[in-house]
Structure 1
Amino acid sequence: MRITVTVDDPTDDFRDRLLALLEEHAAHVDTDATWTVERAVRYYRSLPARARRIVRMAAANGGFVGDDELRTDGGSLRGHSGALKRVLERGVREGWWPAGMRPPIEARGPGFGKVKGYSLPVDLVEVFGTAIERHDDQG
């Protein structure tokens, strides 16, 4: 048996009770941790403008945007990764998606805070490209 439940804008009490019920039966529950266009729209919409630009450019470039493309104003990329992570965590807290969602975009570099670019997995390029188009059409 397969049951799909979608609850738009649940109250905090309802969400907590539903999540507790699901946790109680976790051995029999499969969590859908797939990035859908709807989830991607919500993620993208919730990002600050600078982080949104990274996602937009990575999707437009087939999954990667380099640091040179992002530093057109000569500015630093410091702090961009934090915003990407915070929105992912916020989505779990708000019930927009389940815990365990893979980060849709991640910093790439040699380490020690040096960012050489950001990558979006190839299988998410179309999902996020469509989400960005929908966001812009609504906007």
Structure 2
Amino acid sequence: MIITVRVENPTPEFQERLLKLLAEHASDVQADAFWTAERAEQYYRSLPGRARRIVKLAVAGDGYVASDDLREDATTSLRGHSAALKRLLTRGALLGRWPETIQPPITPQGPGFGKVVGYAMDEELLSVFFAAIRAVEETPEEWAEQRMTQAASLEKAIRSRQGSWDTRGAVAALSAAGHDVTDKRARQLLRDLAETGLLTKTDPVRAAYDTVVP
């Protein structure tokens, strides 16, 4: 039997009693702490502009955006971005938009001591947040088209030059075509083109490919 409970604006006394009851039966209770389409859209829609850009670029980069791609200049700090993301997650839980136990969809990456080198999103969340961005953005078709044209641009470069390809070559070719992509995104594009038969992998570990000559 599955019982779903949703309580809007519970009184502190009721909330305390409910949480105590759930704790007593913790072994039989599965918390609903997942990012659904509705939650992802509410989260993205509530973000301030700069924090929204982090999520957008992380999704576009297949789960990662480097700090250098976010800074307006070399001296810009990213600490304020992290604080905004954390505040929104806490505020959304207080408003009942998602449970308190839900994991942050985007997390800062760095060596510690406040330094941030980038932001990451788990791969399983990419599709739900991509849909959320499309639902919120004023021009979703243009943004989606940009992702698709990356593959077309790389395919054109490979067919033109042929030969061997790796991550560095793919990033350089895409940059020349006006696309600013991460290494991870470039590797994904190479894998996708290999599945079409345009490339064949030459190294079991590295992202190294040869062009398949028809």
TM-score (norm 2): 0.57
- Partner of residue 18 from structure 2, selected from 6, 17, 22: 22
Structure 2 counterpart of 1:3: 3
Contact 1:104 1:120 in 2 (8 A): yes
Q: CA deviation at 1:21?
A: 5.0
Q: Deviations over 1:21-43 (max 9, x none)?
A: 53242015422001111111111
The sequence identity of aligned pairs, in percent, is: 50
Shift of 1:68: 1.2
Q: CA deviation at 1:78?
A: 2.7
Matches within 5 A, 1:1-139: 1-6=1-6, 10=8, 12=9, 14=10, 16=12, 19-26=15-22, 27=25, 28-74=28-74, 75-136=76-137
Offset from partner CA, 1:75-124 (integer Å, 9 cap, x none)? 33231100111111111111111111111111111212221110011111
The 3-state SS of whatever aligns with 2:79 is: coil
Separation in 2, partners of 1:17, 1:96: 20
Indicate the structure whose relative CO is greater, using CA pairs within 8 Å and at least 6 residues apart.
Answer: 1
Unaligned runs of 5+ in 2: 141-214
Bigger Rg, structure 1 or 2:
2
From the superposition, tell whether residues 3 and 123 of structure 1 become closer, same or farther in structure 2 (CA, over 3 Å).
Answer: same
Q: Aligned partners of 1:52, 1:43: CA distance in 2, in Å?
A: 9
Specify every segment of 5 or more residues in structure 1 that has no aligned partner in the other structure, as ranges: none
Q: SS at the partner of 2:135? A: helix
TM-score by length of 1: 0.84
Amino acid at match of 2:21: H
Rounded Cα–Cα distance in structure 2 between residues aligned with 1:91 and 1:106: 17
Question: What is the alpha-carbon distance in structure 2 between the residues aligned to residue 6 and residue 30 of structure 1?
Answer: 14
2:89 alignment partner AA: L
Contact 1:22 1:29 in 2 (8 A): no
* Alignment-mate amino acid for residue 33 of structure 1: A
